[in-house]
Amino acid sequence: MQVMEELDEIRTRLLAIVRAHPESVREATRAPGGGWTPTQVLQHLYLVEALMLAGLEAQPTGSADRSAGQPAGGSENRPASRGTRSLRHRLGGLAVHLVFRLGLRVRMPTHRVNPEPPLPFSEVEERWVPVARKLRSRLEEARVSAPGAPVMRHPVSGPLDPDEAASFLLKHMRHHEAQLQRILVPARTTAFQPANPTPSERGERESPPTA
């Protein structure tokens, strides 16, 4: 899937960008204005992919009844077929598209992808890479076994088939790539609060050594 190749490229690039910054930025726990730190942006992207993978793995391989992040079993948790997609979900899909297209800030549709508490950068990277690899494999399997069948249910836009799920991930990652670029404007990076700031990082004078 070409979309998955692009996702891999962007993911690698984002990790490299944050990794290249000083530890005070990379491991910050608070950002200026109360927004997310660079690593929290990556943590959110990881959580979205992990949630989608959990939904895919909750059902047997080849099943069309997959609902990302939802427990298996009840019909209320099963994605509706693409042919019966509701007007509400069609409008929701348009709204999600506009949010990504215009770069709008909106409330997260589920707390399960909220990057709190913040994880260290190394832990985000360690978790995200294998999850992304498994997710790509499962989406590619679903695309072959049941190409038009829903594999996840988005809280706003409803059931998505494998291609739509991959497209959503790509638009979502591009959206947050732009956010990360804004956060990492050089003039702003000095305002991040590191997890364990030194006196100089807090703007304090170092204490002279004692005899």
* Segments forming the whole domain that contains residue 110: 2-69+90-192
In a domain, 45, yes or no: yes
For residue 211, pLDDT over 70 is answered with no
Model-level pTM? 0.75
pLDDT grade for 94, boundaries at 50, 70 and 90: low
Output b/e per residue, 57-92; b: 16+ Cβ within 10 A: ebbeeebbbbbbbbeeeeeebbbeeeeebeeebeeb
Query: What are the structure tokens assigned to 152, written together?
Result: 């996840």
Token pair 């690593």 in the structure block, residue: 39
Q: What angle do CA 202, 207, 211 make, to 5 degrees?
A: 160
Question: Directed axis angle between helix 121-145 and helix 162-183, to 10°?
Answer: 160
**41-69: pLDDT as tens digits:** 999 999 999 999 998 888 665 444 444 44
The two three-digit tokens of residue 61, written as one number: 């391989």
Tally the domains of the chain. 1
Which CATH number belongs to the domain containing residue 168 in this structure? Answer: 1.20.120.450
